[in-house]
Amino acid sequence: MKFFLDTAKIEEITQAAAMGFLDGVTTNPSLVAQTGKSYLEVIQEICKVCKGPVSAEVLATDYAGMMEEARRWRKVAKNVVVKIPLTGDGLRAVKTCTEEGIPTNVTLCFNATQALLAAKAGATYISPFLGRLDDIGIEGMEVAQEIRSIYHNYEFSTQILAASLRHPLHVKQAALLGVDVITIPFKLLPALIHHPLTEKGLQIFLEDAKRIPA
């Protein structure tokens, strides 16, 4: 399973890369707005650090506007993946991007039927927002399982990119379901690493090491 970092902060991306957790990066307008920089500047900076896929989102909502932005984003760096919302115009843009060899990440997916349509349009990645589904009382992982089953049934090449993950249990469940990629905020990394028994065991080893003759 690949780990993408969901951020626009270059310092977080650099730290994750140093820890060996960085396979790619996803961004969105909300994350970029927190940096005080232009979207283009942020993506250019990220692509210098991350050699894996970097998602840059279109801001247009109509087909023509999406395609104009998609082609422009694709010229920024070879590893840019164009992030497109799951709308009618969005799916049309995904189909055209696929025909032109532009990789896509279809975002704001909330059910398996939407994911099916994205795969048929040729999406490179589909991003179901699992945590947001949990927030409204729908089991997000069940939706991920449905998507996994449908893609397996018809041998779609679209990769499942589990998004809006909130805690370590989400990461474990996604891995057990066999999703291709997860994208997580930087703050979730320490929670994945730390365990009280690991800390306790390390402390015991360090105390015992003090008794070893020099």
Q: What does the pLDDT average to over 100-109?
A: 98
Cα three-residue angle 41-183-129, rounded to 5 degrees = 110
Of 83, 95, 120, 172, which is the active-site residue?
A: 83
Average pLDDT over all residues of the chain: 97
User: Residue 214's pLDDT band (boundaries 50, 70, 90)?
Assistant: confident
Contacts 24+ apart (CB under 8 A), 33-37: 34/8, 34/9, 35/8, 35/9
The amino acid at residue 192 is L
pLDDT tens digit sequence for 12-45: 999 999 999 899 999 999 999 999 999 999 999 9
Q: What does the pLDDT average to over 74-88?
A: 98
The reply to whether 83 belongs to the active site is: yes
2-189 has which fold? Answer: TIM Barrel (3.20.20)
Q: What does the pLDDT average to over 52-59?
A: 98
User: Residue 131's pLDDT band (boundaries 50, 70, 90)?
Assistant: very high
Q: What does the pLDDT average to over 3-8?
A: 98
User: Residue 154's pLDDT band (boundaries 50, 70, 90)?
Assistant: very high
User: Residue 95's pLDDT band (boundaries 50, 70, 90)?
Assistant: very high
Prediction pTM value: 0.95
How do the domains of the chain map onto residue ranges?
Answer: 2-189
Residue 113, pLDDT score: 98
Q: What does the pLDDT average to over 64-76?
A: 98
